[in-house]
Structure 1
Amino acid sequence: MPALPSRRPLLNALFLPTLLASTIAQAQDGTAARTLDKVTVVAERASTATKTDTALTETPQAISVVTQKLFTDRGAHNLQEVLRYSAGVTADAWGLDTRNDASSVRGLDPVQYQDGLRRSYGFSPLARPEVYGLERVEVLRGPSSVLYGAGATGGIINAMSKRPTFGAARGEIGLQLGSFDRRQLQGDIGGALNDEGTVAGRFVGLVRESNMQTDVLKDDRVYLAPSISWRGERSTLTLLASYQHDKTGSSQQFLPLAATLHAAPGRRLDPTTFIGDAGFDRIDSRVYSLTALFDHRFNDAVSLRSAVRYIDGKTTLQQLYVDSYSNPENPFIDADRRVVNRTAYGTQPDIQVLSADNAVQFDFATGAFQHLLLAGVDYSQYKEQLQRLDATGTPIDVYAPVSIAPTVRGWERQPDQESSQLGVYVQDQIRWADRVSLVLGARRDHARSKTEGQPSQTDNATTYRAGLIGELGGGVSPYLSYSESFLPVSGQDLFGSTFKPMRGRQAEGGIKWQPARNMLLTLAAYRITETKRQTNDPDNVLNVVQTGQIRSKGVELEGQFQFANDLTVTAALARNEAEVSRSNFALEVGERLNDTPQDLASAWVSKGFQLDDAARMKLGLGVRHVGNTVSLGNGGRVITPSYTLADALVEMQVTNWTWALNITNLTDKRYYAPCRTFGDCFAGYPRVVTGTISYRF
């Protein structure tokens, strides 16, 4: 791939301070090995489930925590890949997809958060979060509206940003080379900025130039994330800023079903096939973000936590894709079954998001009961100015793709969209005898949405949660929980009545076992019901009614173990039955949800070996299994086969230097995830080899 001259000066300017710091640190410390952060593989606490720093064994709900060390060892390049080994999570729901980090949890859609504040709103093609800038990712499964307001029933994926740490300056600089001409320079430096230790800063950044699996397209990125923290006797203020610019294209080509999964022998397209137009297809996304986190302790019993974030993002997404929807099994327009029509698609959203969450925490006792009472108010506002591209696609021979550029007539302004939500919540975590925890919560929300030129829509909802967990001895803690969610549905039916919010309810029970520190095993069984889903009116083909209902039930087992001899083992097993439980059409009742695997399993093992006083080696191997999926529609059924993939790690540390080789999809298995009755298939990830050399100081 030719170099991009405009980025070379940026590379030098961006990392010159880090290189200088590295040189100084090396001169001061010689060959003494130092690490940027305390290495944590198995997390013991999380905040996503309760908005408080709570031990996982005191949280009556299933939650997964993936630490930076763990997802780095596994070779994760994006948020989807971070979640591959988490129980009940279909991380690559649509295969390799550069448009967004699509995933499903317990067969349902989750909502993406960052640092406890909402980041995703429907299909908004903001640049995907950069995982090099994350400390950990927490996954809360199931409805969670009591603490977070409007959201889907799948739960929450909360990415936690790297933050300044108070202490001596330390950091790392690294270079990645890998498949598809990947070249990435990355750096992370931070520490105290004054002698008193009251001010700390951190800078995380990278520049990447790369191609991708799909022919022709690039995967370039610039990411800059400075942060600073002030701490006083009772208060802490942290400011997190980030800038991200992605220049890429849609990795998913919507390959025809008739030329992939259902292709005749010898006619199956290679998953890398590009059937767009090199001069037209692109994703160009810029995102600016500023977050303020403030904590203040009034006394030993009362404290305040406040978080505010503003996001400004603009994306241009253009793509030519195969028009297979009119005839899914035979989209070809020629007798030789080679040429297909293409649809030209273009969208240009300009998005602003303002989020705030303020809570007061009270620590007190009533007799034998210790209370952690949280009362808060949160607010979010989402604005979108959108343009659609008026363009006409052209045919292409998918087996010998030479593109004819589409006819482009220009951008057309769409009505502005705006939505807001104001919520008030209260939660009490009651602890008895340091063995039993009861969590009770309630929330009231006011949600408003407005489309330019149309009447505004207002929804109000009250949601509840309750949970109980207790330690029986030997680290065994059984639990029960109940939680709710709501999600506003915009629009009106044929008769002018506004749609009501979809509602979700989950009942969950399980056992958590912590035989020792750095070890946790969770067994969970759940049942989720989602109501008020839109479905076609059997009495009027022009109308839509909210009588649909789905049910998701299943069992999950997840374990994370970090042994003293530098042996790490994680394992996950999940069985999910997500189906249509109520519909106006009898044939749909009892059918599996489209594109949802019933079975998921994974295991990861890594072992470190001390070679001598200055050298250490680590080897890692993982296996992931995703069950088959079913797609129903257009009078047909498409079954996408299951697949099993392997990942590997070889790492060598010598004093301050680390060399790592990651291989994902070790055997280069070709698979789809999934194929649909609409007539398209989503290609899975190929084998990806990444080599990283880094120096820590």
Structure 2
Amino acid sequence: MFRFAPHRRTALMLSLLVPSALSSAIAQAQSSDEAHALDAVTVVAERATTATKTDTALTETPQAISVVTSALFTDRGAQNLQETLRYSAGVAADAWGLDTRGDASTIRGLDPVQYLDGMRKLYNFSPMARPEVYGLERVEVLRGPSSVLYGAGATGGIINAMSKRPSFRKAGEIGLQLGSFDRKQLQGDITGALGGSEQWAGRLVGVVRDSGMQTDEIDDDRIYIAPSLTWRGERSNLTLMASYQRDRTASSQQFLPVAATLKAPPGRKLDPSTFLGDKDFDKLDARAVSATVLFDHSFNDAVSWRSNLRYIDSKTEFREIFPDTYSNPTHPFIDADGRVLNRLTYGVKPHDRVLTSDNSLQFSFATGAFQHVLLAGVDYTDFREASSSFSGVTTPIDVYNPVSTGVTVPAYQALPDQRTTQTGLYVQDQIRYADRVSLVLGARRDHAVSETQGLPDRTDNATTYRVGLIGDVGANVSPYVSYTESFLPVPGQDLYGNAFEPMRGHQVEVGVKWQPVRNALLTASAYRITETNRQTNDPDNVLNTVQTGEIQSKGIELEGAYVFDGDFTVTASYSHNEAEVSKSNFAPEVGQRLNDTPQDLASVWAAKGFAVGDDKRLRVGLGGRYVGGTVSVGASNTVRTPSYTLVDALLELELPSWTFAVNVNNLLDKEYFAPCRNFGDCFSGNPRSVVGTVTYRF
């Protein structure tokens, strides 16, 4: 079933990987026993909840899943959600390069859905405040279709960010960051039992940032505060979480013309920091408030109940001026000297309200030699959006001497109100035999209603299934095979008032997981995915979105993590993906590679700690990331973007109460694009970023 034609550089990339660190579903975090950081542990993640909604060992989960803990993504210098996934197999973390509009990543060549604490957060392309990574304790990545438990699961998989929660162990820290582009950030995290109580614990996480960005004239300012409270009883646990976030920035991507970047004549290449908008016009201001309730109760040792509820209220104003490369992608300039471009305007003001709930009963019992963990539940989501927008043309600009002032903001026009509700009933049985073999069976029935003001309601019903088998055949080697499906209602309509069809997909995956010792996990997997009704840019109108007919994606993944004695950590990954368009309403792309999707990804990260005297510890880390080239096929214009390799580094000194750390991403300051498209625009990559952090722990 699985046949591949690897890129000619595959052998080179495989040689980058540490032989003992090849795998597929892990995450790992490392911090020595001597460390005094908040929640300090030494761990290669062994368990996760995203794949099964139960606390299940990764070696008993017949699907590829990665877990990236805060200790690990902090070591690597991640500053936003997508950057936490840069070293995960199969994930193109920075799919659109340096982009403040959202955390755009692809998994196995396809789009995932973003979840927060097990409940869906994002529902369409409307901009919303991005998660604050300092408020996260880990990120779990489930690769491939996953609708049986989540309903609203895309074909690519799920990115599930898990928030920090109260601990009964008293700990606290306050930190100051200074870095590139005038970055100044104050952050703090304090947790512990309240008043010495054994039943109540609290936590408060906060961030205040004043920063610029690579792109000239763009700010990256944020206020974030997240209080939480936990009560634990004899058989019950209740956690209340809230968050407030206010961001002030603008679109960091300026859609620089291919003709002046990737294909620029000598001496005519634009600096990636070039700003082609208007400082008084461009903005991306976002405000998000959320409240979450997490409750669980054990009736006895065999039956337990979990109930999760969250409400999000989000308001955003996004407006931008961008160059018109779309009218003539290969020759966009309007003057004889090749300097001046026409410009377009776009603005949107969405007000989103999202209510999500998930309730389930879990039963643990035996039937003869078989141990069962049976999960039955119902979840519900209610997404509502009221929005207004504008689009048009404005003054041209000289891209080599960009000056823009006095652009008038057009009047916003109301868009049809949107509402999408989805109710799902699901059941899953995890059957364990002889403590060596696990069979996972699941089924789900969804009822989704999409409402667009002025149009008839759309109702979709779907049944999805899942089956997986994994077993320990000896020496802690566990081969597995699985089949999964996805069903994702797509809210909204295209530019011409046509409602979107639900996305559907299915996957067959085979693999093997090996845990030679407790502090190591290695995995290899192969998969084939079919996806229908994927949203893409309209080749005839850049402001419109269409749904292609069918995507076929197949590939292999290797991922591994190992914590050696002596405070030495290594992670590595490699993936090869072949995604192509098998059916489409745009004939030139049929049978071609999926646009803007790298085929090969590889990474390796190593960190080592050294004792320096009796109470000091020095840690150094070094990592490399390879991202393969991409292709963008148009009706008369095909653009190929080269591959790139980036280096990241860490230097950290730990004292009894202080930590001094320097993170450098893109150490060699390589200039690259990710990607350039047949529309005539290029997405700039992330330049070198240096951030120093001083942390005091108490």
Name the TM-score, length of structure 2 as normaliser: 0.92
Aligned to 1:558: 559
The answer to whether 1:473 aligns with 2:474 is: yes
Aligned to 2:5: none
Q: Residue 648 of structure 1 aligns to which amino acid in structure 2? A: A
Greater relative CO, 1 or 2 (CA 8 Å, sep 6+): 2
- The alpha carbon displacement at 1:534 in A equals 8.1
Q: Residue 74 of structure 1 aligns to which amino acid in structure 2? A: R
Output the CA distance in 1 between the equivalents of 2:72 and 2:526: 26
Cα-to-partner distance string for 1:205-224 (whole Å, 9 max, x where unaligned):
01000000000111000000
Distance 1:96 1:554, change over 3 A: same
Output the CA distance in 1 between the equivalents of 2:43 and 2:78: 15
5+ residue gaps, structure 2 = 1-33, 539-544
Output the CA distance in 1 between the equivalents of 2:589 and 2:55: 43
- The alpha carbon displacement at 1:487 in A equals 2.3
Q: Residue 552 of structure 1 aligns to which amino acid in structure 2? A: S
Output the CA distance in 2 between the equivalents of 1:165 and 1:225: 14
Output the CA distance in 1 between the equivalents of 2:409 and 2:207: 35
- The alpha carbon displacement at 1:414 in A equals 1.4
Q: Residue 133 of structure 1 aligns to which amino acid in structure 2? A: G
Output the CA distance in 2 between the equivalents of 1:209 and 1:500: 41
Greater shift in the superposed pair: 240-249 or 405-414: 405-414
Match of 2:109 among 104, 107, 114: 107
Output the CA distance in 2 between the equivalents of 1:556 and 1:332: 43
1:390–1:412 contact (8 Å) kept in structure 2: no
Output the CA distance in 1 between the equivalents of 2:188 and 2:211: 18
Cα-to-partner distance string for 1:336-364 (whole Å, 9 max, x where unaligned):
11010111111110110000000000000
Distance 1:308 1:338, change over 3 A: same
Aligned to 2:382: 381
Greater shift in the superposed pair: 110-119 or 488-497: 488-497
What count of residue pairs does the alignment treat as equivalent? 659
Output the CA distance in 2 between the equivalents of 1:583 and 1:680: 23
Output the CA distance in 2 between the equivalents of 1:520 and 1:460: 39
Aligned to 1:274: 275
Output the CA distance in 1 between the equivalents of 2:697 and 2:498: 61
1:390–1:410 contact (8 Å) kept in structure 2: no
Aligned to 1:298: 299
- The alpha carbon displacement at 1:181 in A equals 0.7
Output the CA distance in 2 between the equivalents of 1:498 and 1:601: 39
Aligned to 1:608: 609
2:588–2:634 contact (8 Å) kept in structure 1: no
Match of 1:76 among 75, 78, 87: 78
Q: Residue 431 of structure 1 aligns to which amino acid in structure 2? A: R
Output the CA distance in 2 between the equivalents of 1:437 and 1:226: 39
Output the CA distance in 2 between the equivalents of 1:428 and 1:506: 20
Q: Residue 519 of structure 2 aligns to which amino acid in structure 1? A: N
Q: Residue 519 of structure 1 aligns to which amino acid in structure 2? A: A
The answer to whether 1:629 aligns with 2:623 is: no
Output the CA distance in 2 between the equivalents of 1:496 and 1:674: 30
5+ residue gaps, structure 1 = 1-31, 538-543
Distance 1:612 1:339, change over 3 A: same
Partner SS, residue 393 of structure 1: strand
- The alpha carbon displacement at 1:550 in A equals 1.3
Distance 1:33 1:85, change over 3 A: closer
Aligned to 2:202: 201
Distance 1:244 1:479, change over 3 A: same
- The alpha carbon displacement at 1:39 in A equals 2.0
- The alpha carbon displacement at 1:389 in A equals 3.2
Matches within 5 A, 1:238-253: 238-253=239-254
Aligned to 2:583: 582
The answer to whether 1:134 aligns with 2:136 is: yes
Q: Residue 662 of structure 1 aligns to which amino acid in structure 2? A: N
Output the CA distance in 2 between the equivalents of 1:475 and 1:521: 11
Greater shift in the superposed pair: 401-410 or 341-350: 401-410
Matches within 5 A, 1:261-410: 261-389=262-390, 392-410=393-411
Aligned to 1:162: 164
Output the CA distance in 2 between the equivalents of 1:497 and 1:213: 38
Aligned to 1:3: none
Aligned to 1:60: 62
- The alpha carbon displacement at 1:195 in A equals 2.9
Distance 1:364 1:107, change over 3 A: same
1:260–1:269 contact (8 Å) kept in structure 2: yes
Q: Residue 120 of structure 1 aligns to which amino acid in structure 2? A: L
Aligned to 1:85: 87
Aligned to 2:46: 44
- The alpha carbon displacement at 1:124 in A equals 2.1
Output the CA distance in 2 between the equivalents of 1:401 and 1:331: 16
Aligned to 1:222: 223
Aligned to 1:454: 455
Output the CA distance in 2 between the equivalents of 1:497 and 1:73: 46
- The alpha carbon displacement at 1:295 in A equals 0.4
Match of 1:125 among 121, 127, 132: 127
Output the CA distance in 1 between the equivalents of 2:313 and 2:87: 32
Output the CA distance in 2 between the equivalents of 1:625 and 1:418: 41
- The alpha carbon displacement at 1:227 in A equals 0.2
- The alpha carbon displacement at 1:586 in A equals 6.1
Cα-to-partner distance string for 1:454-509 (whole Å, 9 max, x where unaligned):
11110000000000000011110000000000123568999999765332010000
2:418–2:491 contact (8 Å) kept in structure 1: no
Cα-to-partner distance string for 1:590-625 (whole Å, 9 max, x where unaligned):
210000000000000000001121000000000000
Matches within 5 A, 1:169-208: 169-208=170-209
- The alpha carbon displacement at 1:585 in A equals 6.5
Output the CA distance in 1 between the equivalents of 2:139 and 2:364: 27
Distance 1:534 1:615, change over 3 A: closer
Aligned to 2:11: none
Output the CA distance in 2 between the equivalents of 1:216 and 1:277: 9
Q: Residue 60 of structure 2 aligns to which amino acid in structure 1? A: E
Output the CA distance in 1 between the equivalents of 2:35 and 2:584: 62
Greater shift in the superposed pair: 616-625 or 545-554: 545-554
Q: Residue 80 of structure 1 aligns to which amino acid in structure 2? A: Q
Output the CA distance in 1 between the equivalents of 2:552 and 2:189: 45
Partner SS, residue 409 of structure 2: strand
- The alpha carbon displacement at 1:193 in A equals 0.5
2:124–2:491 contact (8 Å) kept in structure 1: no
Output the CA distance in 1 between the equivalents of 2:35 and 2:657: 5
1:41–1:67 contact (8 Å) kept in structure 2: no
Aligned to 2:645: 644
Name the TM-score, length of structure 1 as normaliser: 0.92
- The alpha carbon displacement at 1:582 in A equals 3.1
Q: Residue 622 of structure 2 aligns to which amino acid in structure 1? A: L
Greater shift in the superposed pair: 565-574 or 118-127: 118-127
Distance 1:151 1:213, change over 3 A: same
1:211–1:218 contact (8 Å) kept in structure 2: yes
Partner SS, residue 408 of structure 1: coil
Aligned to 1:417: 418
Matches within 5 A, 1:421-436: 421-436=422-437
Output the CA distance in 2 between the equivalents of 1:686 and 1:492: 36
Distance 1:533 1:249, change over 3 A: closer
Output the CA distance in 1 between the equivalents of 2:502 and 2:390: 31
2:664–2:691 contact (8 Å) kept in structure 1: yes
Aligned to 1:531: 532
2:421–2:449 contact (8 Å) kept in structure 1: yes
Output the CA distance in 2 between the equivalents of 1:84 and 1:663: 14
Distance 1:203 1:467, change over 3 A: same
Q: Residue 155 of structure 1 aligns to which amino acid in structure 2? A: G
Cα-to-partner distance string for 1:370-409 (whole Å, 9 max, x where unaligned):
0000000000011111011366421110000001432333
- The alpha carbon displacement at 1:116 in A equals 0.1
